[in-house]
Amino acid sequence: MPMIQSKVEYLFGAPEIEVIAEEPYAKKQCDFLQALSGAIRSDKEAKRYSDIQTFAFWIRKASLMQMRDDYLWGRRCYRMGRGLIFHVAPSNVPINFAYSLVYGLLSGNANVIKVSSRRFVQTVILCRIMQEMVGREEFAWVGRQNAVVLYERDRKDATDELSAMCDVRIIWGGDATITQIRKSPMQPMSTEVTFADRYSFGVISTDAVLKMEEAELSRLAEAFYNDTYLMDQNACSSPHVIFWWGGVNGDRRKAAQKRFWRAVRQAAQKYGLEAGKVSDKYTLLCRMAEKLEHARVHCYENRLYVVDLQAFSDSVTAYRGAYGFFFQYGIKELEELFEYVDDRKIQTCAVCGVDPGELAEGIRAHHIRGIDRIVPFGHTLDLGMIWDGYDIIERLTRCIDGPRASEARFREDRKR
Amino acid sequence: MELDEILEIPPFSLEREQKQELLTAALKRLTIFHQNHCKAYGQILRLLHADPQNAAQYEELPFLPVRLFKEMDLRSVPKEAIVKTMTSSGTTGSAVSKIYLDKATAANQQKALVKIVADFTGRSRLPMLIIDSPAVIRDRRMFSARGAGILGFSILGSERKYALDSNMQPDWNGILEFLEKHRGKRMLVFGFTAMIWEHFYKRLSEQPARIDLGQAVLIHGGGWKKLAGEAVSPEEFRERLHQACGITEIYDYYGMVEQTGCIYMQCQCGHLHASVFSDVIVRRAEDFTVADTGEKGMIQAVSLLPGSYPGHSILTEDEGVILGEDDCPCGRKGKYFRVIGRIRNAEVRGCSDAYDSK
């Protein structure tokens, strides 16, 4: 049984890790996550954190069953977890470690998760709830097969040990983090899933915005707020450039843009615009002046900066804002989009009034290397079992070639 | 009015209306000059839709975020005209500001500094004890903010003595000798707040003789950030120094390497004062509108001195509050204010740059 020798702090679990490979979505994993969902929702302390509640909602029964069905439908062969997963959780999204744990559990693996030494209160709360649950006989295995550890970033000894021990390593980015962690070697058979720095953008149909009722527009603006401001516009999936599709007559496009940004400014009134953010944002704007030589900026106070681009003098991914700082560019045909987004750094394309299927067709027809996701505005932050272009279950399991998983077996598995 | 003439005006003599008129005309001229002579600055003004020509008040003129001087080389004169490059001391690992000075700008900075300080210490030059090491000013082509401060102030001394050696150790014998020589005379002591505390005050007890600075004026600046970890308040700093070496006349000042020369001296009422050569405007983070007197906001600093680089109007990363104008009990005209401290770094959410950075 693997035993962690490095001196690290255990927020959950213990140094000894029991590794038993399971099949994905095994009953005991699903039962545990459902119970965890319930425990979170009735926990007084956890109630105060909307990110913990969103997480609990994601692992509620109906949602898990849907994920399981999606998996079983697509299954062509039997799969088993690879063994032990070492996760390096990010240091600026407190709840993220929990999603990573779910990836590991649902794929049938044992897990060691390194969380940020910033010791987020959300992490502490969730670990406490889980620790309380493993006191129950039926969930004791969770405590034996999983650990949440905390140590300082410069503790290479600990990262070395956990990397040498694991079958799969998951690194939640920052490119710098990935480069750093990769200095610790893994066993030859081990594999890795990395979530690097990515870039995202949006496409909005001019007509769709012009046709919207006020209430609908407010909903769109709210959705846009959640995609961007909610994470300081610093999530990999937060859009930076908005392509306005259609409205060949410039006036129509301008009217749609005005309408949209006014609604966004309204939605962004609740954003905590502190002096530190304003300073960063204003500095970023001034620093981009050279690149924006022919552009025009609209400032809605310091809450919202929108830059009208006449052309791209650099790769799209170089147009990156923060704290509510966007760029916009008009296109006549959807097809024109593909000139700009052929870059593997591009992750999410958020859409409004655009058919995702048509975009996917375009990606295929134009042999585009970018765009891993096409989702409506408001859903860019929805983490799922497919993320960043990876089918998570596929990445964290091995495939047993030969016997086919029959439809009869599907129905049987579904009944469990 | 030309800058040469302005520099002849007593630094705290103009009332609001006169000063406004003077600043507006001079800053408009400076803004237009830099717009035409610094390409990057011109591009920024274009992007911001700035229209200096038609500004009615200097508050309407654009301002550069101070961090830009760390990220870009901003100059409005040919390379050959640069005689000094000043750098901010910058905490380890972070980028430093680079400020390019031509002869005229450097000379004006010196002139303004002398005028401002003389208003507090008197016109005659005094024996001067510098609480720092002479090593700081050795390379005269590349000035750190510390070096520039020392060099700028040292012109106020009739005779100068560095209190620390090149290893930042106090030279007690030398100090005592210097004090003996000037016994009974008024004297100037200058240094950076953190240096005075760390390398002078804390070491006083290790030598037996009493260092008597009862006749001295202490001028110190550079901020309280480094002392914040030890939780030394300005009041405690004054009190402890007074107890240790009898010094009573202590002036803190606020200034920045991007606007060297135009320092803001703290009067005996504890207020920082803007001279006629510069001003502070406090702005609201929400929309950069000008905050009311007494309202906290981001500090914008304007200075008439920067001719070789577009640093005449900058948005600092400090927060402060205007306390009043023209009516400080100390009698000095102009705005007086308080600096609250550095604005807090934004704690960024999101998923890039995820590695712990403490």
B352 to A286: CB separation less than 8 angstroms, yes or no: no
pLDDT at B358: 31
Tens of pLDDT, residues B209-268: 888 999 899 999 987 777 767 778 888 999 999 999 999 999 999 999 999 999 999 998
B350 to A235: CB separation less than 8 angstroms, yes or no: yes
B348 to A116: CB separation less than 8 angstroms, yes or no: no
Residue A351 confidence class, pLDDT cut points 50, 70, 90:
very high
Q: Which residue in chain A is spatially nearest to B345 when comparing CA positions? A: A276
Task: State the nearest Cα–Cα gap between A239 and chain B, in angstroms.
Answer: 12
**For helices A27-41 and A121-133, angle between their N-to-C axes, nearest 10 degrees:** 120
Q: Which of A194, A189, A171, A195 is nearest to A398 (CA)?
A: A189
Asked whether A404 and A201 are in contact (CB, 8 A), the reply is no
Q: Which of A65, A122, A68 is nearest to A93 (CA)?
A: A122
Regions of chain B with pLDDT less than 70: 89-94, 139-143, 228, 346-348, 350-358
Closest Cβ–Cβ partner in B43, B345, B356 for A118: B356
Taking CB atoms and an 8 Å cut-off, how many pairs form between chains A and B? 136
CA distances to A206, A295, A309 from A332, rounded to whole Å, are: 10, 19, 15
pLDDT at B89: 58
Tens of pLDDT, residues A215-267: 999 999 999 999 999 999 999 999 999 999 998 777 899 999 999 999 999 99
Closest Cβ–Cβ partner in A172, A234, A289 for B43: A289
Q: Give me the domains of chain A, ranges plus CATH numbers.
A: 9-197+388-415 (3.40.605.10), 199-376 (3.40.309.10)
pLDDT at A128: 97
Q: How far apart are the first and last CA of chain A?
A: 30
Q: Which of A57, A378, A350, A349 is nearest to A226 (CA)?
A: A378
Mean pLDDT lowest for which of A135-139, A383-387, A398-402, B98-102? A398-402
Q: Which of A160, A11, A383 is nearest to A169 (CA)?
A: A160
Closest Cβ–Cβ partner in B43, B65, B286 for A279: B65
Superfamily covering domain B9-342: ANL, N-terminal domain (3.40.50.12780)
Measured CA to CA, the distance from residue A58 to residue A52 in angstroms comes to 10
Share of chain A above pLDDT 90, in %: 88
Task: State the nearest Cα–Cα gap between A50 and chain B, in angstroms.
Answer: 15
Which alpha helices (H) appear in A109-237, and where do they start and end?
Answer: 121-133, 140-145, 156-165, 175-181, 206-211, 214-227
- Dig out the tokens for A280 from the structure: 């960063």
Q: What is the dihedral of CA A144, A148, A153, A159, to 10 degrees?
A: 20
B351 to A277: CB separation less than 8 angstroms, yes or no: no
pTM of structure? 0.91
Residue A44 confidence class, pLDDT cut points 50, 70, 90:
very high
B348 to A234: CB separation less than 8 angstroms, yes or no: yes
pLDDT at A415: 75
Range 134-163 of A in CB contact (< 8 A) with B: 152-153
Measured CA to CA, the distance from residue A71 to residue A68 in angstroms comes to 5
pLDDT at B93: 55
- Dig out the tokens for B299 from the structure: 């500090």
B348 to A276: CB separation less than 8 angstroms, yes or no: no
HSE toward the beta carbon, residue A197, CA cutoff 13 A: 14
Q: Which residue in chain B is spatially nearest to A303 when comparing CA positions? A: B286
pLDDT at A192: 97
Q: How many helices (H) and strands (E) does chain B have?
A: 10, 15
pLDDT at A145: 98
- Dig out the tokens for B293 from the structure: 């007197």
Closest Cβ–Cβ partner in A230, A274, A297 for B285: A274
Q: What is the DSSP letter of B60?
A: G
Mean pLDDT lowest for which of A62-76, A394-408, B276-290, B292-306? A394-408
Closest Cβ–Cβ partner in B47, B343, B349 for A92: B349
- Three-state DSSP at A366 gives coil
B48 to A297: CB separation less than 8 angstroms, yes or no: yes
ipTM of the complex: 0.92
Looking up tokens 């901020």 gives B223
- Three-state DSSP at A222 gives helix
Q: Which residues of B touch A288 (CB under 8 A)?
A: 47
Measured CA to CA, the distance from residue A409 to residue B13 in angstroms comes to 92
pLDDT at B346: 66
Mean pLDDT of A121-141: 97
- Asked if B94 is an interface residue toward chain A (Cβ–Cβ < 8 A), one would say no
Cβ atoms within 10 A of the Cβ of A214, count? 9
Measured CA to CA, the distance from residue A43 to residue B260 in angstroms comes to 57
Mean pLDDT lowest for which of A66-75, A98-107, A357-366, B65-74? A66-75
A93 to B351: CB separation less than 8 angstroms, yes or no: yes
Q: Which residue in chain B is spatially nearest to A289 when comparing CA positions? A: B44
What is the 3-state composition of chain A as percent helix, strand, coil, each rounded to the nearest 5?
A: 45, 20, 35
- Asked if A382 is an interface residue toward chain B (Cβ–Cβ < 8 A), one would say no
H/E run at residue A390: strand A390-391
**For helices A250-267 and A214-227, angle between their N-to-C axes, nearest 10 degrees:** 70
pLDDT at A232: 93
Range 278-337 of B in CB contact (< 8 A) with A: 285-288, 297-298, 315, 317, 319
Tens of pLDDT, residues B192-205: 999 999 999 999 88
Range 231-270 of A in CB contact (< 8 A) with B: 231-236, 238
Q: Where are any strands of DSSP class E within B174-261?
A: 187-192, 216-221, 249-254
Task: State the nearest Cα–Cα gap between B9 and chain A, in angstroms.
Answer: 34
Amino acid identity of A204? I
Cβ atoms within 10 A of the Cβ of B121, count? 18
What is the 3-state composition of chain B as percent helix, strand, coil, each rounded to the nearest 5?
A: 35, 25, 40
pLDDT at B357: 35
Question: Is the pLDDT reported for residue A364 higher than 90?
Answer: yes
pLDDT at A26: 95
Cβ atoms within 10 A of the Cβ of B16, count? 12
Q: Residues with Cβ < 8 Å from A302, sequence gap 6 or more?
A: A273, A278, A281, A282, B285, B286, B287, B288
Closest Cβ–Cβ partner in A173, A232, A301 for B354: A173
Which residues partner with B250 through β-bridges?
Answer: B218
Please provide the DSSP assignment of B102-166 as one string.
EHHHHHHHHHHHHHHHHHHH-SS-EEEEEES-GGGGS-SSEEEHHHHHHHHHHTTEEEEEESB-T
A290 to B40: CB separation less than 8 angstroms, yes or no: yes
